[in-house]
Chains A and B, each alone.
Chain A
């Protein structure tokens, strides 16, 4: 081959006309680009689907159906009811008669069958009697009672229960729905914000309507307190040592390798650690936020150490040199100058680590925070740490694992509460970062 052969067909083509091969290549270019756009679109689509299903399925947990009836108990009726053997039954009969008369007054032709009303409202006689025995002055006065309807009525209003899917049971019958519709038209059944869900405790398996997430929020709070109090100082101390003081030796290498590996160990393994060491070996109380906090601390530490070291590293060496130059000891240079400058970064990393810990579920399953029915708030501050409790993600799991589909609403609602907390923490972290970000 000679040089001349290279130019046997001199390509004097114009660059203003695009040749066939270039067209083909450009088409493949556009295809490739389209794959990229499709990938992003698909990812964002999943995100949207996730959020839509969370919001759509979760919002019903925040409302509940209440039956609001104005009811007047006369002195005569009061005495009569109190004199009977089945006192609560008597109250219930009186109340149902009251509802019936209101329906009649509004010309709504539906029979308020006592059994049906009992299915809708539960046994209400006790509540009414309790009200009048606490407020005897109200006898003879009109009073508006707001009574929670059963969770199946909730389900009817948010579309989970329909006439077609309803199977008659002792909980609800198809005929009851006529009554519900009539009461709704009469304005007796209303939707109200369910404060009980936010502040309340978990109910048993048979009462989805009364279940609340409040107690497990408190459980999570105490757990996060443990995580914060332990992981921040330990994480910062470990990072300072590794970044500023550690000599290059076997032990330091071992620590470094350990930290990067622990960051990738599956969280369930930390649960096994917690079960074996804290519960079996040290006999700390099961289901206690203290134990959960300890396990999550060990899990979060690598994250916090990694981000803390990054912020320590970003403080330029000139600051250290300046401090050492005026005669400060190495320790003083670090604690007086480097650490304060790195603090915003450290706090940001810590908040993100805490947010991660807050949503973690798997290790909590193993230390007994699931299956425990958190029925009440802990007594006092110390009790918050050592009394058995649940935590938000564990509570959500408990609800999701229950057979009754009415609890699914609660689980989605719980997720909204959890995500609101996570969002708040992340926003705080972003604000901290924006506010104190420093470019050297």
Chain B
């Protein structure tokens, strides 16, 4: 556990720094804390901060950069002849990594000595068999170039780990000396520590931005790779979705239109279930229900929102699907082939969205000022007339916003459609047919055996990009409407 040890060493130095720094500051003030600028603990914290922050930062960066650097060096050193036809450099590198891991584990279990692992030659020793005996997963015969590369990989990583340990420890000690030098009674320790803490707070807040950047970059980068292999106009305007499973064959047709249609259709069915039920439930709860009914019904409805989507997926696959088949299937109306269909997924997704629509609408209806209702009652309107003609029109923008948010949920929902909607991409109007969605295909393209560099896998990123842009647009628009609406009554 060299990494844990290293972190332990840094922390130990930090603790020592805290104690010594505090003592030094106190000594410089003649043992009387009142002569210090700040409380003694701030001097200690200052030292500890200077030990931990730079060294841990370097440690993190090192941990991220080293594998990338080592990978590219080893990959560059791979001779071309080591890459078989139909394979790629990335695949060979994966093999190299596996072999290196295998060697590491074999050494760790004492099956090989370190020297053997370093100097072994594939032509002389039966490496593959020995690794297999050691319980390592080796997919193909380990060839000499791969073994060489794996040995180089191991060596570089080992050197890197030692260098990292040295650099990090030195930084920690340097920080310790720097902090101790500052531990002087006139030093403004509190201000320094607070500046440091504030920097940490800002860094934490910036993680949200980093996440978005990460999402956007990983989507853009891979989508770009995909469009290098597959023409963008065929992706956006193609009406057939039939990826070939052979891997790198050019026979795949990857048109997004059928997937978008499936997504849209299922979302429409879901909203057709969720919006009326959710809206009427919200109206009843906020305008009619007494406090007791409200106290029971509202949390119960919200339970539906707390149930994980995998549960809904299973519910669609095993309960709702067969139920619909018994009514609409061969024995019933004969218009439904199998349990997985647009209707199944849409219905279950609608159930999931009921509390989403109802609690958002509830908030929005409650934000309509009571004066508005009083004005209507004062004119002799009934409750329902007031709701239909005064409250709902006043709340309309907010409700539209809520429905848009629900639509964005429906479009991005994955588990229900993966389990309940089927896998066939088709353009059809029959809601009892199986269709598939953008999210379901992202899952199937990335969980299959396809090579990550193939268009069949990369298309998932283009799908993800489309999904991200659509939902982001819907969310921003919906939040804008809801916010505008709130301002109107505040």
Contacts and interface: CB of A to CB of B under 8 A. Distances in A.
Interface residues of B, number: 93
Given A36-B280, A57-B318, A265 B412 contact: yes
Contacts of B430: none
B310 A415 contact: yes
Contacts of B222: 276
A14 interface: no
B313 A397 contact: yes
A366 B310 contact: no
A426 B283 CA distance: 27
B51 interface: no
B183 interface: no
B384 to A, nearest CB: 4
Size category of the A interface is 35 or more
Q: Give the interface centre of A26, A35, A302, A371 by most chain B CB atoms within 10 Å.
A: A35
B309 A361 contact: yes
B205 A246 contact: yes
B270 to A, nearest CB: 13
A29 B384 contact: yes
Main secondary structure of the interface of A (DSSP, over half): helix
Contacts of B300: 44, 47
A43 interface: yes
A408 interface: yes
A40 B318 CA distance: 25
B429 interface: no
B383 A29 contact: yes
B399 to A, nearest CB: 15
Contacts of A341: none
B314 A362 contact: no
A300 to B, nearest CB: 11
A365 interface: yes
B77 interface: no
B303 A47 contact: yes
A272 B464 contact: yes
Main secondary structure of the interface of B (DSSP, over half): helix
Contacts of A393: 308, 310
A412 B314 contact: yes
B4 interface: yes
Contacts, number: 262
Contacts of B468: 265-266, 269
Contacts of B211: 258, 262, 273, 298, 301
Contact of A54 (B4, B311, B443): B311
B358 A411 contact: no
Interface string B398-430: 000000010011011111001100000000000
Contact of B304 (A47, A237, A331, A396): A47
A255 interface: yes
Contact of B218 (A26, A254, A265, A273): A273
Interface string A235-248: 10110111001100
Given A261-B475, A273-B218, A238 B205 contact: yes
A431 interface: no
A39 interface: yes
A305 interface: yes
Contacts of B479: 260
Contacts of A47: 300-301, 303-304
A402 B363 CA distance: 42
Nearest to B413: A266
Given A29-B384, A268-B442, A282-B64, A237 B218 contact: no
Contact of A360 (B209, B297, B308): B308
| 7 closest cross-chain pairs (CB), A and B | A266-B412, A359-B308, A36-B284, A276-B218, A39-B280, A237-B204, A32-B384
Given A40-B301, A360-B309, A362-B443, 7 more contacts: A43-B281, A262-B211, A265-B475, A269-B219, A269-B464, A276-B222, A283-B68
Interface of B: 1, 4, 64, 67-68, 71, 97, 190, 194, 197-198, 200-209, 211-212, 214-215, 218-219, 221-222, 276-281, 283-285, 287-288, 297, 300-301, 303-304, 306-311, 313-315, 317-319, 351, 354-355, 358, 382-385, 387-388, 405, 408-409, 411-415, 418-419, 439, 442-443, 446-447, 452, 460-461, 464, 467-468, 471-472, 475-476, 479
